[in-house]
Amino acid sequence: MGGLGMLQGVFMLLAGTIGMIKMSSAKRAANTATDPEFRRFQKNYVLVFLLAMGADWIHGPYIYKLYQDYNFTQHEIAVLFVAGFGSAGITGLFIGALADQFGRKKACLAYSFCYGLSCVTKHFHSFTLLLAGRLLGGISTAILFAAFESWMVAEHNKKNFSGEWLGSTFTWAWGWNGPIAVLAGVVANYAVKIGGSVAAFDCQLLLLIILGFIVHSTWDENYGSAALIDTTATIKKGVAAMFSSYSILMICIAQTFFEGSMYIFVFLWTPALGSVADGDIHHGWIFSVFMLCCMLGSEVLKQIQERKVMSDKNIATLTFTVAVFCFFALSYSTTYNGKLILFCLYEVCCGIYFPLIGMLRGTHIDDSLRGTLTTLCRIPLNVIVIWILLNTETFSNSTIFKMAAGLNCIAAYGAFTIRDHSESNTEFKNLIASSSRENESGC
Q: Write down the pLDDT at residue 173.
A: 87
> What integer is the mean pLDDT of 33-40?
83
Number of H helices, E strands in the chain: 18, 0
Assigned domain for 208 exists = yes
Q: Write down the pLDDT at residue 75.
A: 93
Q: Return the axis-axis angle of helices 127-144 and 104-121, rounded to nearest 10°.
A: 150
- 1-5, 37-41, 160-164 — which is least confidently predicted? 1-5
Name which residue leads in pLDDT, 194 or 94: 194
Cα–Cα distances in angstroms (integers) from residue 168 to residues 18, 33, 42, in the given order: 21, 9, 9
> What integer is the mean pLDDT of 377-399?
90
Question: For residue range 314-371, what is the model confidence (pLDDT) as tens digits?
Answer: 999 999 999 999 999 999 999 999 999 999 999 999 999 988 998 888 788 876 677 6
Assigned domain for 30 exists = no
* Domain end point (choices 227, 257, 280): 227
Are residues 338 and 217 part of one domain?
no
The number of beta carbons lying within 10 Å of the beta carbon of residue 8 is 15
Are residues 365 and 280 part of one domain?
yes
Cα–Cα distances in angstroms (integers) from residue 81 to residues 138, 172, 216, 264, in the given order: 10, 31, 31, 10
Question: For residue range 391-427, what is the model confidence (pLDDT) as tens digits?
Answer: 988 999 999 999 999 999 999 999 999 986 555 555 5
Report phi then psi at 12, rounded to 5: -65, -40
Are residues 91 and 215 part of one domain?
yes
Are residues 188 and 96 part of one domain?
yes
Would you say 260 and 381 are in contact if contact means Cβ atoms under 8 Å apart?
yes
Number of domains making up the chain: 2
Q: Write down the pLDDT at residue 432.
A: 47
Cα–Cα distances in angstroms (integers) from residue 116 to residues 92, 126, 216, in the given order: 19, 17, 15
User: Does residue 440 have a pLDDT over 90?
Assistant: no
* Domain end point (choices 211, 227, 243): 227
Cα–Cα distances in angstroms (integers) from residue 123 to residues 117, 127, 202, 401, in the given order: 11, 11, 9, 32
Assigned domain for 16 exists = no
Report phi then psi at 224, rounded to 5: -95, -170
Q: How far apart are CA 158 and CA 137, in angstroms?
A: 31
Q: Write down the pLDDT at residue 91.
A: 87
Single-letter amino acid, residue 54: G
Q: How far apart are CA 22 and CA 179, in angstroms?
A: 13
Whole-model pTM: value is 0.84
Question: For residue range 65-79, what is the model confidence (pLDDT) as tens digits?
Answer: 999 999 999 999 999
Are residues 197 and 68 part of one domain?
yes
Domain range for 179 is 39-227
Assigned domain for 341 exists = yes
Question: For residue range 336-348, what is the model confidence (pLDDT) as tens digits?
Answer: 999 999 999 999 9
Cα–Cα distances in angstroms (integers) from residue 433 to residues 116, 237, 365, 386, 428, in the given order: 49, 12, 15, 38, 9
- 42-56, 214-228, 412-426 — which is least confidently predicted? 412-426
Q: What is the CATH number of the domain that holds 219?
A: 1.20.1250.20
Q: Return the axis-axis angle of helices 95-102 and 127-144, rounded to nearest 10°.
A: 70
Q: Given pLDDT bands bounded at 50, 70 and 90, which one contains residue 32? A: low
Are residues 186 and 85 part of one domain?
yes
Single-letter amino acid, residue 148: F
210 Cβ contact partners less than 8 Å away, ≥ 6 residues apart: 51
| Ramachandran class of 419: left when φ > 0, alpha when ψ lies in -120 to 50, beta otherwise | beta
Task: Tally the residues of the chain.
Answer: 443
